[in-house]
Structure 1
Amino acid sequence: MKVLHVITGLGVGGAEQQLRLLLRHLPVECEVATLTNPGAVAAGLVADGVRVHHLGMRGNRDLRVIPRLLRLIHAGGYDLVHTHLYRACVYGRTVARLAGVRAVVATEHSLGETQMEGRRLTPGIRALYLAGERLGSATVAVSPAVADRLGRWGVPAPRIEIIPNGIDLAQLRFDPSRRRRARQRIGIPQDAYVVGGIGRLTTGKRFDVLIRAVARLPDHLWLLLVGGGPQETVLRRTAHAAGVADRVLFTGERPYLAEETPGSDLPSLTAAMDLLVSPSLEETFGLAVVEALASGLPVLYASCPAIEILPPRAAPGARRLRGGPEAYARAIAEVRSAGPRPRTVPEAAQRYGITHSAARLMDVYAAALSRPLVPSPQGVDCP
């Protein structure tokens, strides 16, 4: 089997890094086409031996990408096309069908109640998405919450497959020496208490709430924000205004895999933390929370579908919390006063190993390829 993965971009983001991790565990030949932004994850894929095609798309309506992708698919001889993220799903599904590809699978990484990939949902976005979805063989939802939203949109239940995001448990396992090296590298005292936030720096992540919460806590407590995004300048101003700029560290985007940048990769920075806080009110999976649990961290979170479906005993160190800076400040103080916990991996994290996700996806591929083609009402052959 030969598979082409089509994705909107390959900068450092959850869906992009999830794709790279997944490709390390899929037992089939895979190539990747990125419509835009051949960023850090593209370089990582190439280092892994994956062929990456950059299609040079310059905007949502740059239709020149259609013949480029069509030529690539014709030349590649792919058995299946797998699309990721909204723009790639819209263009990728359509072009794959025009090229005569038998099976087209899409993964829906980021469909919230009111937004998709950080952008406000509109009737036009929904209509275009649904029109493209009919051209696919199956749509993978990363959580039951996403599957439920797809169903309410009108996607038939038999076309929806739930395959959760996967994590590399071995990479994320806590290592005291990694913790020491990471703190030394980024300039945090070894005895400091470190609250962490992981994710793209956007309004929806509510990291401003976390900064204001830390401002209400003692001076020897630090905040480590891992990620990049359009709100970084605003958040830095918030930290200055709150008087905590000297103990709020912004790391920028960080790769997932430890061998690339020892001491500043995501697992090392997670090891450097004492508590992970996720104030975001709308998550489709909650990958940062699950990764933190895999590192043995206690967690405060506002939304995490990945663990909300599990019994409380599966994640004893996780606590759901809604509210503003005062509520988060009180909760952080309570976790700290309870003292350090053993950095063991709870059941909730063990459920989401990447090997299981890869095996489930192979089942979806096999089913998509086995379905006979039938004419659709629009005249495009669909399974």
Structure 2
Amino acid sequence: MRVLHVITGLAAGGAERQLQLLLRHLPERHRCEVATLTNPGAVATALRADGVTVHDLRMRGNRDLAVLPRLTRLVRTGGYDLVHTHLYRAGLYGRLAARLGGVRTVVATEHSLHPGVIEGRSVTPGVKALYLAAERLGSTTVAVSRQVAGTLDDWGVRRVDVLPNGVDAARYALPTASRAALRQTVRAELGLPQQAWVIGGVGRLVPGKRFDLLIDSLAELTVLAGQHPALREPWLLLVGAGPELEELQHRAALRGVRGRLVCTGERDDVPELLTAMDVLAAPSTEETFGLTVLEGLAAGLPVRHSACPALDELPPEAAPEAVRIPSDAASYTAALCELWSRRSLPLPQPPAVAHYDIARIADSLGRLYDRLAVV
């Protein structure tokens, strides 16, 4: 089966990295190509390195309707049996182009939908109307969590398959000596002291992620470190890019901890960067899945988070080192203080990681493709 994945862009975001993982693990009977409407970033480079054909449609903006005939032409000439779209804009153009190009089996994954918010933006009546009009052109919508499926149901979308995101568990399962060596190398590259105690945050640098709380906690911990010399120096490592970078750096300067904040920008080596951390903190209050939390657990880190629908669907014993706390600076400071006094030893991967292993998720997606193709 020939499959064309259509996605809005290929920067190193959650949906983009998830697509990359799926393509690495889908059964070989499904031969996939990718079309990006715009922004062929780090994930496009990684996909091409994996041998995946990536088509850049060079869309110039949300209203650049010229992308539709280009995408339709690609669908018509590519001999695809199925089109799979990712993210809102790609869902609109991709479903329509698939129908115009003669492909009737169309899947759309809904990666980031909350009540009243889609991909971090408010849902206006116009946005919702376009979404529902495009949905009628597809075969099914894949929801990455039951939470997303519930919102789709509230919107009146009835053709839904729940298929969660996945984590590449094997990539994180490093022998102790290899992990220690990698940790030392990554810290040296980033300018992190080898003996520092590093709080980590991963995600887009946008207000909704609440990384400002971690800067406030870092400032409080730095004061405590001055009073207790036996404690290791606290540092904060933020992995990701976004419009809030300068504001976060300014806040760190005001709190006197700019020198202990390291921002990596957009990176596609998150598993390696996680080895440099001692704890992963995720203070966002709204997540559609919570993949970063699972990645932290896969990397052997204790995790403190404020929202993770993926874990909400499992019993507490599936991830005992992932503790949910309120999204405020005082709660994170207290939780981090408690972890600060522990030895930072890698933890075993909990059952939640195996449950969301990308190999199992990709196999389920392959079976969904097969089922839809014979309808």
**Do these two structures clear the TM 0.5 threshold for a shared fold by scoring above it?**
yes
Change (3 A) 1:241 1:128: same
Give matches, 1:76-225, under 5 Å.
76-156=78-158, 159-174=159-174, 175-218=179-222, 219=225, 220-225=233-238
Question: Displacement of 1:102 after TM fit?
Answer: 2.2
Given that 1:197 and 1:276 are in contact with CA atoms closer than 8 Å, whether structure 2 keeps it comes out as yes
Q: Which residue pairs with 2:244 in the alignment?
A: 231
Residue 368 of structure 1, CA deviation = 1.4
| Correspondence 1:348 to 2:361 | no
Which blocks of at least 5 consecutive residues in structure 1 are unaligned?
256-264, 372-383
Alignment match, 2:298: 294
Q: Could you report, residue by residue, the CA deviation over 1:209-230 in whole angstroms, capped at 9, with x for unpaired residues?
A: 1111111113510000000011
Indicate conservation of the 8 Å contact 1:9/1:16, yes or no: yes
Deviating above 4 A after TM superposition, structure 1's stretches of 4 or more consecutive aligned residues are none
- The answer for the alignment partner of 1:279 in structure 2 is 283
1:108-132 Cα shifts (integer Å, max 9, x gaps): 1111223211212222211111111
Q: In the alignment, does 2:258 pair up with 1:245?
A: yes
Shift of 1:338: 3.9
Residue of structure 2 equivalent to 1:325: 329
Letter in 2 for 1:22: L
SS of residue in 2 equivalent to 1:6: strand
2:279 aligned with 1:266:
no
Judge conservation of contact 1:296–1:342 (CA < 8 Å) in 2: yes
Contact 2:197 2:278 (8 Å CA) reproduced: yes
For residues 2 and 242 of structure 2, the distance between their equivalents in structure 1, rounded to whole angstroms, comes to 34
Kept in 1: contact 2:285–2:327 (CA 8 A): no
Q: How does 1:26-41 map to 2 (within 5 A)?
A: 26=26, 27=28, 28-41=30-43
What secondary structure, in the 3-state scheme, does the structure 2 residue paired with 1:249 have?
strand
**Contact 1:102–1:369 under 8 Å retained in 2:** no
Percentage of pairs with the same residue: 56
TM-score (norm 2): 0.94
* Structure 1 residues 295-340: Cα deviation after superposition (integer angstroms, max 9, x where no partner): 1110110000011111111101011011411121111101222443
* Structure 2: runs of 5 or more not aligned: 226-232
Backbone CA RMSD of aligned residues:
1.1
Q: Which amino acid aligns with 1:34?
A: T
User: Are 1:18 and 2:18 counterparts?
Assistant: yes
SS in 2 for 1:24: helix
C-alpha contact (below 8 Å) 2:284/2:327 kept by paired residues: no
Supply the distance in 1 between the matched residues of 2:321 and 2:206 (Cα, whole angstroms).
26
**Could you tell me how far 1:341 is from its partner in structure 2?**
4.5
The whole-number CA distance in structure 1 between the counterparts of 2:210 and 2:352 is: 24
**What are the superposed Cα offsets for residues 328-359 of structure 1, whole Å, 9 maximum, x if unpaired?**
11111012224435421001111111111111
In structure 1, C-alpha distance between the alignment counterparts of 2:117 and 2:307, rounded to whole Å: 15
Give 3-state SS (helix, strand or coil) of 2:220's partner: coil
Contact 2:204-2:241 at 8 Å conserved across structures? yes
Match of 2:317 in 1: 313
Letter of the structure 2 residue corresponding to residue 152 of structure 1:
D
Given that residues 35 and 55 in structure 2 are in contact (C-alpha distance below 8 angstroms), is that contact kept between their aligned partners in structure 1?
yes
Distance 1:22 1:8 in 2: 17
How many residues align? The count is: 360
